[in-house]
Chain A
Amino acid sequence: MNPTMEWIVSAGRAALIWLVQLQLIPILIWFERKVSAYMQDRTGPNRAHILGIRLAGVIHNIADVLKLFFKEDVTPPGVRKFYYLLAPFMAMMIALMTFAVIPFADTLKLGSLEIPMQVFSHNVGMLWIFAIGSFGIFGIVFAGWGANSKFSLLGGIRSSAQLISYELTLSLSVIGLIMIFGTLQLNEIVRGQGGLLFGFLPMWGIVLQPLGAVLFITSVIAETNRNPFDLPEAESEIVGYHVEYSSVKFALFFMAEYVNIVVASGVMTSLFFGGYGIPFLPTEKLIEHAQPVLLGFLAAHVILPAILLVPCRRWSKRLKQLYTDARRIEADFLSAVLVLMALGGLGGIAFFSLNPLSGYGPNIVAAIVQFATFSAKLTFFGFFFVWVRWTLPRFRYDQLMDLGWKLMLPLSLVNIFITGLVLLLVDSLK
């Protein structure tokens, strides 16, 4: 592969991942509002619309962004301007950078050409995540200190103390997994999880390391400043590190939080839930059975919209009773989209049954299916974060520190010890 091609491929991968991360922000915010509403027996946002199309509240995100962009951007007098302006960019940039090592599909082999489906495919893998991830604290510290306000300074200190405490557990809880797979390269770890334990259990991280997984999930929630550990932000109760920020600068912090969730979901998926892998269907098998998998994929594309069409028609009737304005046609519009999707799926099935995959086809199909699997898992864990937030009450600060230092840190050390012991036993039995 010549250097120009390599540049183009790298840039393409980076752009893909960048888009995935940024695309997930509005989806997560939508989840946050709609899921929390349904959990509390409310309806959630459903007013903002474009030509009657509301998409169950997704349009509210556009309204939010417009609002944040047109708000007055206040820079309070007396701030340390350099750090004050640097902080939001730091938070956002570092959050976006961390995702680079997470594989979103297995290495794509096109003849002699091998394209790793990671932006940054290197042996340091896990270390990159921890190293760059812990840089995120700087965004918070700069924001707290640069704003030159006592409240935001206190908020920044509180947050950085929390992040540093949980960083320890976060890194220690993964060590067991690294010991088992013997590598820091995330793609290797994901591929290792494609194997079977005792011949029937998928070797996912959560099966191999249940304690490690629980510790990791808990501390990753603390790392992303989410409930029940959301003391850094606690929007309604405590003054956090970003009090002095307004308009787009605040929006950057807000978005960085959601990008952090995407990153955390990505790491969680890759380490403990098999990454891009489908259980019982490792990459080689997937390439071998690409044709039926592709047809199944397309069949799902037909069946799912067909099933969704039933409630959509019922909803259309209700809309026509309720509204007299543009919103009447929303369900009809969505039904049309669903019908088009189903027709597209049918067309795909017809096309690929007549022209079976050949050449590099199976490899590309495998990569696409794996990317879809990864996205599905990523979205599920995004939902998981929202789910946890709207279920659990917040910890008190002393409880938070107790949990981090007195319970989770020792447990993660115990986990490493037990893992080492079991590995030694397994080795000696061989």
Chain B
Amino acid sequence: MKVASPKLTFWEKLYLFEVLKGMGVTLGHFWKNLFNQSAMPTVQFPEEPNPLPVRHRSRHRLTVRENGDPKCVACMCCETACPARCIHIVAEESPINAIEKRAKVFEIDLLRCVFCGYCVEACPEDAIRMDTDDVLVVGDRREDFIVDLKWLLHGGDFLERRRERAETAPVQGEPITPPTTPEEDQGWPEGTPYHRPKLPAGWQTNAKNV
């Protein structure tokens, strides 16, 4: 393909004046920003909040009834709809007659969650929402990111919650037991130091490699 190169005038060909022009442009920006720093688009996050869009999806929460019970009826719609399979619900019988079931365990693995919002769409009871404005989720172990029913209902500082857990939970997982069958052995070279993350008690999953 033939690309037409622009015709340069004599002054442009000299290069020097174009250089000076370019330096004028950069100096203009420098000057403008030096004396009017608040006009710069940079947001000093996290001290300055960065407003989220109106229809954003942030970290989940569970809504409650008027008496404070979770609205969730453990219908498993969200767990079914979830493409990342990050929701884990264990149902139990509800003491209230009008409601058949309620969630005994409701856990979301935020590391797996893709924040697609399908769970919110699937919920028939408006029990789960993604409107907490909470986008800062920090942890240093996998189990830090598995949030439970209590926290989904009441929220609070994610880091605080992590510190709470850190006091009770052991710091490191236990070493994996060596695989026994040759099929299982594949993929891990001999002597690989691998630690399976410690899972919370009662965690059940049908995924093979957690």
Partners in one complex: yes
**Which residues on A are within 8 Å of B, measured CB to CB?**
35, 38-43, 214, 318, 322-323, 387-388, 390-392
Pair A391/B29 contact, Cβ less than 8 Å: no
| Interface: B5 (CB within 8 A) | no
| Interface: B96 (CB within 8 A) | no
Contacts of A390 in B (CB 8 A): 26
| Interface: B175 (CB within 8 A) | no
Pair A392/B29 contact, Cβ less than 8 Å: no
Q: How far is the CB of A74 from chain B (nearest CB, A)?
A: 24
Contacts of A40 in B (CB 8 A): 29
Question: From residue 37 to 53 of chain B, which have CB atoms closer than 8 A to chain A?
Answer: 37-38, 40-42, 44, 47-48
Pair B40/A43 contact, Cβ less than 8 Å: yes
Q: A42 vs B44: C-alpha distance in the bound complex, in angstroms?
A: 11
Given the interface contacts A391-B22, A392-B19, does A35 sit within 8 Å of B30 by beta carbon?
yes
| Interface: B23 (CB within 8 A) | yes
Contacts of B33 in A (CB 8 A): 38-39, 41
Q: Mark B1-44, 1 if CB is under 8 A from A, else 0.
A: 00000000000000010010011011101100110011011101
Pair B29/A41 contact, Cβ less than 8 Å: yes
Pair A391/B40 contact, Cβ less than 8 Å: no
Pair A318/B38 contact, Cβ less than 8 Å: yes
Given contacts A39-B29, A387-B27, 8 further A-B contacts (CB under 8 A): A35-B30, A39-B26, A41-B41, A42-B40, A43-B37, A43-B40, A43-B44, A391-B19
Q: A390 vs B22: C-alpha distance in the bound complex, in angstroms?
A: 10
Given the interface contacts A41-B40, A43-B37, A387-B23, does A323 sit within 8 Å of B47 by beta carbon?
yes
- A387 touches which of B26, B34, B42, B47 (Cβ 8 Å): B26
Q: A35 vs B42: C-alpha distance in the bound complex, in angstroms?
A: 15
The 3 A-B pairs with the shortest beta carbon distances in the complex, nearest first, are A38-B33, A43-B42, A39-B26
Contacts of B23 in A (CB 8 A): 387-388, 391
Pair A392/B40 contact, Cβ less than 8 Å: no
Pair A214/B16 contact, Cβ less than 8 Å: yes
Q: Mark B129-150, 1 if CB is under 8 A from A, else 0.
A: 0000000000000000000000
8 A-B contacts, Cβ less than 8 Å apart?
A: A38-B30, A38-B33, A41-B40, A42-B42, A43-B42, A322-B47, A322-B48, A387-B23
Contacts of B19 in A (CB 8 A): 391-392
Q: How far is the CB of B35 from chain A (nearest CB, A)?
A: 8
Pair B22/A392 contact, Cβ less than 8 Å: yes
Q: A202 vs B144: C-alpha distance in the bound complex, in angstroms?
A: 71
Q: How far is the CB of A289 from chain B (nearest CB, A)?
A: 34
Contacts of B40 in A (CB 8 A): 41-43
- A322 touches which of B34, B42, B44 (Cβ 8 Å): B44
Contacts of A391 in B (CB 8 A): 19, 22-23, 25-26
Q: How far is the CB of A31 from chain B (nearest CB, A)?
A: 11
Q: A419 vs B38: C-alpha distance in the bound complex, in angstroms?
A: 51
Q: A38 vs B37: C-alpha distance in the bound complex, in angstroms?
A: 9
Q: A423 vs B47: C-alpha distance in the bound complex, in angstroms?
A: 65
Given the interface contacts A43-B37, A323-B47, A392-B22, does A38 sit within 8 Å of B42 by beta carbon?
no
Q: A34 vs B38: C-alpha distance in the bound complex, in angstroms?
A: 15
Contacts of B27 in A (CB 8 A): 39, 387
Q: A388 vs B24: C-alpha distance in the bound complex, in angstroms?
A: 11
Pair A38/B34 contact, Cβ less than 8 Å: yes
Contacts of A387 in B (CB 8 A): 23, 26-27, 30
Pair A38/B47 contact, Cβ less than 8 Å: no
Contacts of A392 in B (CB 8 A): 19, 22
Contacts of A322 in B (CB 8 A): 44, 47-48
Q: A35 vs B23: C-alpha distance in the bound complex, in angstroms?
A: 13
